[in-house]
Amino acid sequence: MLSWACTSDKDSTDVNYDGVEFNINCAELESLFVTTPISASDDWSGYWECYQQENSCQGPSCSWDVSELNDYVLSESCSDAGSCEIDGETVQECQSLSNTGSVSFECGSEGTIAITANGLPGHTFENYAQSGELPPLLGSSATNAQYSMPNTPVYNSDSDIFEVGGGTIAVAVNGVSIFNQFTGIGTVAVTDEIVDDCGGHPANGTYHYHAFPYCGELATESRKGNAETHSGLVGLSLDGFPVFGPYGYADASDTGSGIVRMESCYVFTACDDVTDSNCYVFDEEAYEAGTCHLDKCNGRITAVPDELQAALGEEIYAYHMTLDETSSPSFPYQPYCYRGDAGNNSSGPPSGPPN
């Protein structure tokens, strides 16, 4: 048990921890990421390129009933997929890509954690069969983007929430970019955009998540957690603080307390537009009373599960990706601001237009 006590006045966290430096063991952290590439992942973007041509539609103007689709698309049988001709080029409806879903680490001597992220997930991607329509962009590429995070992140009580889309804010353990909550025009991405059957989509070739995904490494019980198991590491924010899944300790200071689903303190107001970020308000009273769990950045100071302590220490600030009681993504979904200094530490691609 740690000495920090959870009180009803949670604003005291800002006072008590402002400027506190936490230490991350880079070598141990590496063991929590996927560093061995997945042998094969199926990319279905070609099917939808062919669909657009065959149906004379583009992006969101393409719609369908699931029952109208080919069985091999619904069952994701890549080996049964065909091809089409577009502008004189043969486009394969499904391609099985090798060496995806991983990162490589370099633990520097200057207080940094250098991560090179493949960018493609170790699960089937760009199959929009269940969505009923297409996103405005198709096509994901391996980015091999490089990121540099501090191994001694410092808690900052003065943080501004994100307001518009801005590309990668965190790197998932499977090498996929985690974008913030917004589209390029400032609407809430989860409610205003189309994602594939695993919860991701591309922007200018960069496949990414806006919320907790439904497939692959992050959706395993050890990462997602449950009512009996604290969530594992989902990724690392660009400010150096970890991102956990949706379950944490009932008492943030006590590893012996029960496990509960982390509830955001943001509430949906009397609005009629779920895509409008102004309709979501941080409930300060509920936060101070302890009836919800997470601060305005969607994180908290927390005790660290035993299996993660070698990498993260006994106590750290951590973000949570949030789900509701039905296991659907819940606003604000993931980090909503940086508690630490993200700096100018990414050479990865920009977010591009409104994804």
Q: What is the pLDDT of residues 224-239, one digit of tens each?
A: 999 999 999 999 999 9
**Per-residue model confidence (pLDDT) at position 331:** 95
pLDDT score recorded for residue 14: 64
pLDDT digits (tens, 9 = 90+) for 313-343: 999 999 999 999 999 999 999 999 999 999 7
| Confidence band of 15 (pLDDT split at 50, 70, 90) | low
- pLDDT number for residue 3: 29
Tokens at 51, concatenated: 């669909």
For 62, residues 6+ apart whose C-beta sits below 8 A from its C-beta are 48, 51, 52, 55, 133, 134
In 1-130, DSSP assigns E strands to 41-43, 83-86, 89-92, 95-97, 103-107, 112-117
* Whether the predicted pLDDT of 4 surpasses 50: no
Of 134-138, 195-199, 292-296, 340-344, the range with the lowest mean pLDDT is: 340-344
Residue 346 has pLDDT above 70, yes or no: no
- Largest Cα–Cα separation, the chain: 68
pLDDT at 124 over 80: yes
* Mean residue pLDDT across the chain: 91
User: Residue 13's pLDDT is what?
Assistant: 64
Q: What is the pTM of this model?
A: 0.92
Whole-Å CA distances, 32 to 105, 106, 119, 184, 284: 11, 14, 17, 32, 34
Please tell me the distance from the alpha carbon of residue 326 to that of residue 131, in angstroms, as a whole number: 18
* 150 or 185, greater pLDDT: 150
Which pLDDT score, from 0 to 100, does residue 345 have? 54
The per-residue pLDDT for range 63-110, each reduced to its tens digit, is: 999 999 999 999 999 999 999 999 999 999 999 999 999 999 999 777
